[in-house]
Structure 1
């Protein structure tokens, strides 16, 4: 295996639905204003307000990656990045929930057409929260599976009509078979336990299923789903559903982190540009140290943006047939590293912003907390994905880390 990085800088060939005239931006200033108006309510009530969810639906943002054959728009990952980033400028919780829901609709494109029609046939804006970690258990039965479990971090759970959940099929003496299932709301119990340092308005609480019957057509082998090799992923107008899921998810999370970092840096610049140092009696804006902090943080966020753009090119290549373990390792690491760059950028300016920035209601404080929380997502684990990527740079197999 070559130790040379894969280039992701090639332009789009249109195979993933590009319209050739820039990104398809659904979150305009009017929609953004509605999201901002509900941000405080979301934070206080630990879930997305009805008005915020309605704004996302009315903007058409929820159907960006719903398959066209099921009534959706089947756009590009780059359109998802643009819309999630834009939403985060107004409210991190709304952006995060949008990111999760668009991601799950994208993954349902790799499941059976019968399921796609079931979920989206009546409503192409159907809301599908979920938790991908295989923490549930599935037992085979006549016509399908009986599923039990408790799944944490189910963002937007209260709005769910269907739930995409990871499960294990246990067999004595064998490695568990991993299965992803889709379960309707009536078979799910929501445990309102979401109390967290950041992304408080996302309602990312636990959901529970007890002996829920899941017919076979609502399931997919996790290896096929995560690897972008489901038989259903190729039955679409575009190649976007053949994108490997785990590197793709890194870009999804990075999109939210990017918008939050931009919003936080804008607030920091406004704050530091107008405050006086109460002990020195001079404007904070005269401090050379603050100038350097802002310069470095802005450059880190710009670097994250460029990394995301390059990674989108890698994912497009993979979807169009040029897939490899090396490409996946690089793409997953670059997406994860973009998240880390956004976290570092906000940490640097928050440290310098002074005591008045730490109160609730401070946009800088909120974006710092939200990005800190986003950086805890499994796809942002730089130790594991860094090991895989580093091995490929030495011409080695990336190892057992999921890619």
Structure 2
């Protein structure tokens, strides 16, 4: 069973070509996904596969050899990867990092992409750590948790605070080569185990000011893609992983329902009334969340094409992202319950889907704060920009 077809545009046709190249990689990911969790990372050869199909150049400006894909195109790409494996989709979602990097000075961006557009950014923002300003830049020290994808990154970004920073309260991100960072392996969790979301440790690294950016700050490149708000985009790139995971789990239960009989002598799953009702409910839930997600994405993109996204539309996009993550987790819970003992094996896709989707929905960018902000907007009350 496949998701409902999208409107055919030149952009979706271009993405379809990428999907053709993606298929062999998805086969490999499905075959190897159990080992990602054991290794606590997505292996280097899969990262190289992401580069080949364009994950990391999708959001890069064309002047640097990138593709400037639309936000919806990128999310569809991440959705497909996430259907094969949640951890792989989560790591691939950090291809949105090019949108963050667009806030670096132009000369710095030329250095970032000197060898091509397939640059992998990872890192962690919070808690912000104090950095000392010197004539050479900032002396950065600290430990940052949840640095997803850091084992396969080229660049690492970490959140810092600087005394008397003229940028105000917006977080500053110090970007540095990955070899200057120590990864402390400690990602021992129940879901998204293959994302390599370890601690990163930085010790007395001097980061020139031109290698820092303001999270959510204005881009230095004036193209429509970079008018799309980066913080909202990061949240939705994470959220769509949950939709892909849920689609995989739901399809698996539908496939097994036609032949799986009960050891107690009950009819095959597909003949049981409660299974029929719950499958219908889960299908409607998933399609509704997905439709809202892409509808909100397109509305925000239309504003970005005109030059600036409004706070209200951005807030609704955040609502759609949070809803997608939570509904995806609920679908996985429903179908996992329907599958009975099939979902108990720790190596099964259903067990993995239930745990992975739960972790997606736990992300700070997809929490109740976004629901409250959306509620205030819908009730015509003032809302504040920023995180969450």
TM-score normalised by structure 2 residue count: 0.90
- Give the paired residue count: 378
* Aligned partner (choices 131, 153, 156) of residue 149 of structure 2: 156
Mapped to 1, the partners of 2:140 and 2:156 lie a distance apart of 12
Greater shift in the superposed pair: 125-134 or 239-248: 125-134
1:121 pairs with 2:147 = no
Cα contact 1:246–1:332 (8 A) shared by 2:
no
Mapped to 2, the partners of 1:354 and 1:288 lie a distance apart of 16
* Aligned partner (choices 358, 368, 379) of residue 365 of structure 2: 379
The aligned counterpart of 2:339 is 353
* Aligned partner (choices 75, 79, 86) of residue 80 of structure 2: 86
Partner deviation per Cα, 1:61-106 (whole Å, 9 max, x = no partner): 2211122222222211122111111111222221111101x11122
Greater shift in the superposed pair: 272-281 or 112-121: 272-281
Partner deviation per Cα, 1:175-212 (whole Å, 9 max, x = no partner): 86621120112321100111111111111111011221
Cα contact 2:11–2:73 (8 A) shared by 1:
no
* Aligned partner (choices 157, 177, 183) of residue 184 of structure 1: 177
Q: Secondary structure at the match of 2:175?
A: strand
The aligned counterpart of 1:45 is 39
Mapped to 2, the partners of 1:176 and 1:379 lie a distance apart of 18
Q: Secondary structure at the match of 2:191?
A: coil
Q: CA RMSD, aligned part only? A: 2.3
Greater shift in the superposed pair: 128-137 or 192-201: 128-137
Q: Secondary structure at the match of 2:125?
A: strand
Mapped to 2, the partners of 1:252 and 1:242 lie a distance apart of 16
1:114 is displaced (CA, Å) by 2.1
The aligned counterpart of 1:258 is 243
* Aligned partner (choices 356, 373, 376) of residue 388 of structure 1: 373
Mapped to 2, the partners of 1:203 and 1:116 lie a distance apart of 26
The aligned counterpart of 1:76 is 70
Partner deviation per Cα, 1:313-365 (whole Å, 9 max, x = no partner): 23213423352222221111111111111111111111221122210221111
Cα contact 2:99–2:230 (8 A) shared by 1:
no
1:57 pairs with 2:51 = yes
Q: Higher relative contact order at CA 8 Å, sep ≥6: structure 1 or structure 2?
A: 1
Q: Secondary structure at the match of 1:252?
A: helix
The aligned counterpart of 1:200 is 193
Partner deviation per Cα, 1:145-188 (whole Å, 9 max, x = no partner): 1112211111121112211222222469xx86621120112321
Partner deviation per Cα, 1:212-255 (whole Å, 9 max, x = no partner): 11101111233xxx15x23x042xxx311121122212221122
The gaps in structure 2 that reach 5 residues or longer are 1-6
1:266 is displaced (CA, Å) by 0.8
The gaps in structure 1 that reach 5 residues or longer are 1-10
1:123 is displaced (CA, Å) by 3.4
TM-score normalised by structure 1 residue count: 0.87
Greater shift in the superposed pair: 59-68 or 258-267: 59-68
